[in-house]
Amino acid sequence: MIQAPDLPLWWSLIVGLLVLAGAGMTLVGSVGLLRLHTFFDRVHAPTLGSSLGAVLIVLASIVCFSVLRTRLSIHEVLIVLLITCTTPVAFMLLARSALYRARAERSAKTSETTDAEPSDLPPGSGDSDLAR
């Protein structure tokens, strides 16, 4: 049973614009994922784009079902609350794990140079002075 034909034209236009704007924001976030180079940049654009896109689409759903039922339909607000709470947390966890991994790889590279024999190190380096 489709109730969309019962939606007045001007409300249909508002709902359609909100859905298109939400889809456009999600597309912008996806394009940002493709164009940006580093991990930290890549995780930022889709997070913002998908969050704002989902909020606009849920807003269109709220408008549509509020007009059709002639009462305020707010149970979709739960979706917005969950998205706005979980998306930044997931972003922070991904960024922290990537930062931890980058630091671990960098410290592993520097420890390889300190594990070398004192005779392998150039004169004047800190480790060769300690070996004497």
Whole-number pLDDT of residue 123 = 52
Tell whether pTM > 0.85. no
Q: In which residue are the tokens 């149970």 written?
A: 75
**How remote is the C-alpha of 30 from its chain's centroid?**
10
Return all residues near 72 (Cβ < 8 A) that are at least 6 apart. 66
DSSP assignment of 18-52 equals HHHHHHHHHHHHHHHHHH--SHHHHHHHHHHHHHH
Other C-beta atoms within 10 Å of 99: how many?
12
Mean of all residue pLDDT scores within the chain: 80
Residue 3 has pLDDT above 80, yes or no: no
Residue 18 has pLDDT above 80, yes or no: yes
Whole-number pLDDT of residue 131 = 45
- Summarize pLDDT for 64-87 with one digit per residue, the tens: 988 888 788 888 889 888 888 888
Rounded CA-CA distance 108/131 in Å is 21
Other C-beta atoms within 10 Å of 89: how many?
9
Q: Which two tokens stand for residue 33?
A: 């994922």
The interaxial angle of helices 39-69 and 77-114, nearest 10 deg, is 170
